[in-house]
Amino acid sequence: MSQQSSNKAHEKITELSWEPTFADRHINNGVWGPRDDEAALRRVATLVARGFTPTEVFSAVAEELARVPGVDNTGLFRYEPDSSAILVANRTESGVTKVPVGTRLSLEDEHVAAMVLRTGRAARINTDENAAGSIAAHMSNLGIRSAVGAPIAVDGCLWGAAVVGSTRTEPLPPDTEARIADFTDLVATAIANAQTRAELTASSARIAAADARAEQELRELAEIQAALRRLAMLVARGEPPEAVFAAATREALRHFGGGTARMIRYELDGTATLLANEGTTGPHVRVGERWEDYPPTGLTATVLSTGRAARVDDYGDIPGGEPYLREGLRSAVAMPIHVNGRLWGAIAVGSGQGPLPPDTEHRMTEFTDLVATAVANAQTLGALEASRDELARLLDEQAALRRVATLVARGIHPVEIFLAVAEEVRRLLGADSAGIARFEPDGASVVVVGGVGEVPVTLPTGMRVKLRDYVAPAVVWRTGRSALVNEDLWSNASGRIAEGLRGLGIRSMVASPIIVEGRMWGVVNAVSTRGPFPSDTADRMADFTELAGTAVGNAEGRAEVAASRTRIVAAADEARRRIERDLHDGAQQHLLALALRLRSAATAPHESNEIRTEITNVAARLTDVIEELREISRGIHPAILSSAGLRPALRALGRRSTIPVHMDVRIDGRLPEQVEVGAYYVVSEMLTNATKHARASVVEVDAEASGGTLRVRVRDDGVGGADPQRGSGLVGLKDRIEALGGTFSLHSPPGGGTTVSCDLPGHGRRRSAGCGP
């Protein structure tokens, strides 16, 4: 601190108070009291509150500390990182300082400032007791016999120390440390306030600079947004892509470049096409031309290989940069344009000055992203219209497939499905006619099974058509794949079919195979008089032919299952009738004849009564055998069912049951034989199960024939829990009923009894046999 600054601080202190100066301590009888301390602190606190600089506060504190009784020298030190301390203010009783402000002292010697630094607390030292080293010698030269130091802490960190010294023989008073501490707190406050003001000033400067930058960025952003709006208007008006490319390049030059701006599009063959150019030109720059040979280290090649932004700070440093130097360019930046996730092209800006600003890539990023959207919209504007039509066609096709699939899932008759497929194919393809035909085993001809279209193109169902090599179904038969043929194949062919095609004006024909269980069953065929079908027509037909194949396969499978079940039931019933006839006409007749002969022999005279008795016994046993055979024959195919019908047969079952049966049969006349047999065996089997397994006490049988359906329901109150998988005969009943086209259901919860219900088709009644119930 200079002498001028010290004097200036002294003037400010004396201005604040009438308190005596350093030389006037004789006032109040030379006694310094508490009121004097308070006044001194108020003076320094006022300086701090008014925002005086730390240097001015340091000088004032040094002067006030010099007034403390017994103090001859004062000094304020600031600790440095290199273990030294710098004197920032001092004061002596004589007013003459031997150590100037700014003096740097080493803290390695043993003195009071070093002790404060080590301990962080107040310290005192006497030269005749524990002072040593150069500092002790210096204190001795100043005549200082004792010294006291107090730490100055700013925001919890040790900043420096305030030190006072005395030349008197007696030590400084014991309360000197406390008095100094009050002043060091004010010094710390002044330093902290000054630091805060400095930080606020710096922060304000930073905020102002940031505001200026933000304002500039906002202006630039507004300009970029305006440019993007201009591009968007071009796209919205449907301007051609070339206009959009040129406008985007002009905007890039305006906002980012200093000499030129260009837009290129990368081609599939590795070349690049210059789409737009703004700024400087040269013989190598012609819009619309392709660049085949461009520097491998240049921007065009770098963006293509990396898909990222690239820059050249000096074209003089890269091979192949001479044309750009001749053009007046020194540096450039290129940004990739990604359209729909693919590297489409790039926008490059160049400058004739030094390197473009380092943030150029960042500033261009958002711009190029939005430009890419504009480019994509402009480029694909026409494609969107075609895509819209294609989407509508696809949706229509999917709806048609769903309609046909619904028919297939519902088990509609194949002929109806064929007609639906033909109509959907004709409508979707825009064909004049479409149909489905079945291949004959030799592949020489097809039989039409369904078709729709304009007369007379459509062929009638059932018509057999001989195949010729030039028609699409013949190609399908030979190759096993879809076929598309045009009029040039039959234009010069001979024969009635070729003449018919020419006469009808057929210009194109497409066919797709119908595959059923791995074999080629038939073909879906369509014809057009308006011109060749598109190349993808056969592929579009594939889904419909698969549905047609599924319908045929389902129908054939259902027919085979039904026929198989019918054959099984008929064979079983025929076997029972044959056994019945064999028993009746064979074994029964033989046994009956034998019994008659034995009875005749028994009535003839014999000499031995024993022989007569034996013959009588044999005859009786033969009669029992005959009755047993009759019972067996009735179990195989009950005679009463064949002769009287279902209602008497069911009532007979109820009478023979060993447990009570409540029978309600509402059947008039006769039903088809297989239906009667099926219903009879359902009731018979359930009565047997109720007796043997269910431990039931009563069985209810309900049978009704109405509306062409026979409904049978058998319920017992037994233990329930019937399981078809355990060999109860229920599986055989279910197969028999379903083989007749009926339905069979079982409900048998444990402990809840068993209920069997079945519905049988009762169409085709037989004439009533005239028998009552």
Confidence at residue 182, expressed as pLDDT on a 0 to 100 scale: 80
Q: How far is CA 37 from the centre of its chain?
A: 78
Backbone torsions φ then ψ of 769, nearest 5 degrees:
-80, -5
Residue intervals in the chain for CATH 3.30.450.40:
3-199, 238-379, 408-637
What does the block give as tokens for 735? 């197969």
The CA R_g of the chain, rounded to the nearest whole Å, is 59
Alpha helices in 93-152 (DSSP H): 112-119, 133-142
Q: How far is CA 673 from the centre of its chain?
A: 62
Three-state secondary-structure class, residue 511? strand
Three-state secondary-structure class, residue 335? strand
Instruction: Render pLDDT for 756-770 as a digit per residue (tens, 0 to 9).
Output: 999 998 755 554 433
Confidence at residue 27, expressed as pLDDT on a 0 to 100 scale: 36
670 - beta bridge partners? 766
CB 633 within 8 A of CB 583: yes
Confidence at residue 138, expressed as pLDDT on a 0 to 100 scale: 64
CB 461 within 8 A of CB 433: no
Residue ranges of the chain whose pLDDT lies below 50: 1-3, 5-6, 9-30, 767-773
Q: To which CATH superfamily is domain 238-379 assigned?
A: GAF domain (3.30.450.40)
Residue intervals in the chain for CATH 3.30.565.10:
638-761
CATH of domain 638-761: 3.30.565.10
Hey, what long-range contacts does 321-324 have (CB within 8 A, 24 or more apart)? 321/295, 323/282, 323/284, 324/350
- Bond prior to 456 in cis (omega within 30° of 0): yes
How long a stretch of residues is the chain?
773
CB 184 within 8 A of CB 120: no
Q: How far is CA 394 from the centre of its chain?
A: 24
Q: ∠ CA(143), CA(146), CA(150), 5° rounding?
A: 125
CB 490 within 8 A of CB 502: yes
Class of domain 3-199: alpha beta
At 446, the amino acid letter reads V
Order of strands, sheet of 84-92, starting from the edge strand that comes earlier in the sequence: 104-106, 84-92, 73-80, 157-166, 146-154, 123-126
Element (H or E) spanning 612, and its range?
A: helix 609-636
Confidence at residue 30, expressed as pLDDT on a 0 to 100 scale: 45
408-637 is classed CATH 3.30.450.40? yes
| CA–CA dist 392, 471 (Å, integer) | 31
Element (H or E) spanning 332, and its range?
A: strand 331-339
| CA–CA dist 161, 80 (Å, integer) | 12
Helices 414-429 and 381-409 meet at what angle, rounded to 10?
170
CB 107 within 8 A of CB 119: no
Query: Residue 78, Cβ neighbours under 10 Å: how many?
Result: 17
89 - beta bridge partners? 76
| CA–CA dist 85, 117 (Å, integer) | 10
Query: Residue 157, Cβ neighbours under 10 Å: how many?
Result: 9
What does the block give as tokens for 536? 């993808």
- Cβ-based burial of 457 (10 A; exposed 0-12, middle 13-18, buried ≥19): buried
Backbone torsions φ then ψ of 772, nearest 5 degrees:
-80, 180
Which residues lie closer than 8 Å to 399 by C-beta, 6 or more apart? none
Alpha helices in 511-585 (DSSP H): 537-582
Backbone torsions φ then ψ of 723, nearest 5 degrees:
-125, 115
Q: Kindly write down the DSSP assignment for every residue of 268-279, as one continuous string.
A: TTS-EEEEEEEE
Going by their DSSP bridges, the two strands 661-666 and 699-706 should be labelled as: parallel
